[in-house]
Every structure is written in structure tokens, then in C-alpha cells.
């Protein structure tokens, strides 16, 4: 069974209540937020009050600008409010944003730092739930003070699932070692999953006495669809633009390498020259078909399920195309077929 999630678009947190009710009525399983123009946690308080039957998660919240204790407290409160239906999704971001946008410390070791961050949060949760003395000491974080006045106490669902997002082998391995889930970046291919993400995750999980069944895979999909060839072709162009942007970023070069695509360096050079409008000419239809899902509406769900098989357990829609966005009945049918 595949779960289908709604991704709350950037907007004021108070808009999340109506969005969650709509998502529930459409048949979505989960409601995810992101850290872009607004805090990722505040919308969930509105959404969970409006549609408590949904599951909720951040995809993602940036970890390093927040102390482990700050994130632990926010997640604890959301786990309490949602009765255990909250999934804490974390990401590292890149140095430029952590240092220049957040004025926070960048260790240069994002994967080890994130691993320690998660351990530190779990130590805080253990102190609240079980009364354990807080005494965490690592390379990046040291926590040794938790007085009763600042201790929120135990909750009914203390096992807060921790998901991380990442690109490449190191964070894939970290997810296999110690996380409950992994957010696959929408810019991916099955070749990338099979060559990079899943093997590294599987090896790390085995070394930790776990299996891939212990890690839930989550992603969003570039959907290019319509009722005829013309509508499908129209839906491909915005995705081509988005892919040209991601492919120009060196951080995502491993996705290109997995499929043998060599247009990444040229796209990077064009982006530095500000030639954004010309970049789409380098992205072939083959890339759209492998990065996203191209199919008529009546075959969309089966194509997504065939694409991912057992690789991914939760999907959302990064793009839908105007035709499917305007046809709520068709979208509801696609969601139901994915879940069946």
C-alpha cells in the first residue's frame, strides 16, 4: 500500500486549517509542511486541529539553526497534539544558508553533526519521558541541564519518528543507521535510488542490525499529465524549467551521473551567466521521463506505482499540471488508486 500526502504550499500558517480539511476530504493520508517563507511547525498546529485524522510532518525543518532541545520541545508538543501522528523531518541545508541566512555554526561535517543532533534530541526526550538524567556530550552538542521547571513531562506517544532528507551516500547511510524515514529529493531517478540511495542505506542498516523495512521512504513526484498529448506536452515545460535549475546545482550531480547525463556542467555555467531562459534547451525529454512521471491521467497512478514499486512508501505531488489541478474528481481517483 502506498500513502499519498498533501504538501502545504508556502503561505501563512493560518491557511493550513482549510488546506488540511480539503486534503482530508480529497483522501490524502498525510499533511507535510516545508521551511521556506514561513516556519514549518506553526501550520501543523492549525492543520492538526482542523483535520486530526491526518498524519503530519515537516519536509523539512532546517536542523542546525535550532538547538536540539528547541527542536525536541517543538516535536514533543506536536506529538502530543497529534496523538503520535507527527513525523519530524529534518534537513541540514547548505553552508551558505546556515551561516549567512541563519548566522549559525557550520561544522563542515553535516552528516556526523546531524547524527549527533538526533542522538541529543532523543536524550532530551528520554529525560522527559523516563526521568533519565540529561547528560549528553558529543563533538558538536553538550546537554547537561534539565530542571523540573523546564521539563514538560511524559506524553502518551513518546516515540517521535525522525526522518531526514539528503542527497548522496552519506545521509542515505545515516538514515539506514538511525532514522525512521528518508525524504528523497524530488530531483531523482530510479537509477539514482538503485545505485546510490538504497544500497548505502541498506548496508548501513544491516551494520546497525536493521533492514530497509525499518525506514519509510518518502518523496514528491514531478507529474506531467493530461487527457491528450497536447496537454501532457504543455505540462512538461514547467518541469523542464525546474529540472534545469536542479541539474545546474553541483550538489545534485550524482543524480545526473547515475543516468550518464553530461549536461550538468554546462547548465551550471549558464546559470552563472544568468541565462535561465536558455537552460531548458539542454534538458531532453528523456530526463523529464526519468526524473518525473509522464502519463495520461487514466494511467498516472499505475505508472507511479510501477515506477516506485517497493522503493518508496509515501508519495506527494511536486507538480500536477493545470489539467489535473482543475479536475478534483480525477485527482481524487488518482489518490485512491495509488492507495489501493
Residue with cell 494511467: 299
Q: Classify domain 3-222+299-339 by CATH number.
A: 3.20.20.30
Q: Would the pLDDT of 279 be above 90?
A: yes
DSSP summary character for residue 212 = G
Q: What is the pLDDT of residue 121?
A: 98
Of 283, 281, 302, 282, which is closest to residue 293 (Cα–Cα)?
A: 302
**C-alpha count within 13 angstroms, C-beta hemisphere, residue 312:** 27
pLDDT in tens, 85-141: 999 999 999 889 999 999 998 999 999 999 999 999 999 999 999 999 999 999 999
pLDDT in tens, 197-206: 999 999 999 9
Q: Would the pLDDT of 1 be above 90?
A: no
Q: Would the pLDDT of 324 be above 90?
A: no
Q: What is the pLDDT of residue 322?
A: 81
Q: Would the pLDDT of 323 be above 90?
A: no
Tell me the average pLDDT across 9-37. 97
Q: Would the pLDDT of 44 be above 90?
A: yes
Q: How confident is the model at residue 304 (pLDDT cuts 50, 70, 90)?
A: very high
Global pTM value: 0.95
Tell me the average pLDDT across 269-295. 94
Q: How confident is the model at residue 168 (pLDDT cuts 50, 70, 90)?
A: confident
* Burial per residue of 64-99, b for 16 or more beta-carbon CB atoms within 10 angstroms, e otherwise: bbbbbbebbbbbbbbbbbbeebbbbbbbbbeeeebe
Amino acid at each position: 500500500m502506498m500513502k499519498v500526502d498533501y504538501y502545504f504550499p508556502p503561505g501563512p500558517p493560518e491557511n493550513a486549517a482549510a488546506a488540511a480539511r480539503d486534503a482530508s476530504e480529497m483522501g490524502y493520508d498525510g499533511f507535510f509542511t516545508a521551511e521556506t517563507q514561513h516556519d514549518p511547525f506553526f501550520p501543523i498546529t492549525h492543520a492538526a486541529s482542523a483535520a486530526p485524522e491526518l498524519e503530519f510532518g515537516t519536509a523539512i525543518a532546517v536542523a542546525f539553526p535550532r538547538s536540539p532541545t528547541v527542536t525536541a520541545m517543538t516535536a514533543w508538543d506536536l506529538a502530543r497534539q497529534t496523538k503520535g501522528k507527527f513525523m519530524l523531518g529534518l534537513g541540514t541545508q547548505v553552508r551558505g544558508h546556515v551561516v549567512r541566512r541563519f548566522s549559525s555554526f557550520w561544522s563542515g561535517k553535516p552528516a556526523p553533526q546531524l547524527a549527533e543532533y538526533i542522538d541529543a534530541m532523543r536524550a532530551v526526550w528520554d529525560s522527559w519521558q523516563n526521568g533519565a538524567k540529561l547528560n549528553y556530550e558529543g563533538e558538536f552538542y553538550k546537554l547537561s541541564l534539565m530542571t523540573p521547571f523546564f521539563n514538560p513531562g511524559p506524553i502518551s506517544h513518546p516515540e517521535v519518528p525522525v526522518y531526514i532528507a539528503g542527497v548522496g551516500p552519506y545521509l542515505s547511510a545515516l538514515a539506514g543507521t538511525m532514522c525512521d524515514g528518508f525524504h528523497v529529493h524530488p530531483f531523482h531517478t530510479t537509477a539514482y535510488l538503485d545505485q546510490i540511495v538504497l544500497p548505502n542505506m541498506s548496508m548501513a542498516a544491516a551494520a546497525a542490525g536493521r533492514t530497509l523495512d525499518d525506514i519509510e521512504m518518502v518523496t514528491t513526484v514531478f507529474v506531467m499529465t493530461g487527457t491528450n498529448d497536447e496537454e501532457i506536452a504543455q505540462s512538461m515545460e514547467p518541469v523542464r524549467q525546474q529540472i534545469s535549475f536542479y541539474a545546474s546545482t553541483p550538489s545534485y550531480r550524482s543524480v545526473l551521473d547515475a543516468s550518464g547525463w553530461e549536461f550538468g556542467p554546462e547548465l551550471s555555467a549558464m546559470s552563472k551567466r544568468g541565462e535561465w531562459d536558455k537552460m531548458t534547451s539542454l534538458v531532453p525529454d528523456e530526463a523529464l521521463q526519468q526524473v518525473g512521471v509522464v502519463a495520461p491521467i487514466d494511467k498516472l497512478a499505475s505508472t507511479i506505482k510501477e515506477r516506485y514499486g517497493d522503493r518508496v512508501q509515501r508519495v506527494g505531488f511536486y507538480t500536477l499540471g493545470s489539467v489535473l489541478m482543475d479536475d478534483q474528481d480525477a485527482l481524487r481517483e488518482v489518490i485512491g488508486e495509488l492507495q489501493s
